[in-house]
Structure formats: structure tokens, C-alpha cells
Amino acid sequence: MTLEQIVPVPYQIQRRAWECAWDICCTSDQRANRDALLLAIRAYNGPVERITWAQAGALLRLHRELWPRRVA
């Protein structure tokens, strides 16, 4: 049993994580490393509803490290 089966990821969190992925994918100043870009591309190319807790946490954390501002 996965965490998503016990506690589904709220759509608002998935959407914010997807927006973080979009920001990370669109960086042209090479802030993100290769692994971070792969995670962001994988999340951005899929439907918002398929973002898991682990992906959401990683994307939100990475976005906060790259841009120390809150996601709107």
C-alpha cells in the first residue's frame, strides 16, 4: 500500500508542484543539476494528477532552494 492510497495528494499541492516543475524546466541559467531537471521534466510532461507525495516534496523543496521565494 502506497502513501497515495492512504492519503491522496490534494490537487492544489499537485498543481503547485507542477508549477515548480515548470519553473525548473524553464531555467536557462543552469541553476538546477541534471537529476533535478530530470525530475522536473518527468513531472511536467505527465498529468498533474499523477504527481506523488515524494515528487511534490522534492519539487517544492528544490524550487525553494533555487528561488528563495514562496510559490504563489
The pLDDT confidence band at residue 29, using thresholds 50, 70 and 90, is: low
Q: pLDDT category, 70, cuts 50, 70, 90?
A: low
In this prediction the pTM is 0.83
Residue 10 has pLDDT above 80, yes or no: yes
pLDDT over threshold 60, residue 71: no
> Could you tell me which of 40, 45, 42 has the C-alpha nearest to residue 21?
40
Task: Give the span between the Cα atoms of 49 and 21, in whole angstroms.
Answer: 14
CB of 67 within 8 A of CB of 22?
Answer: no
CB 20 within 8 A of CB 55: no
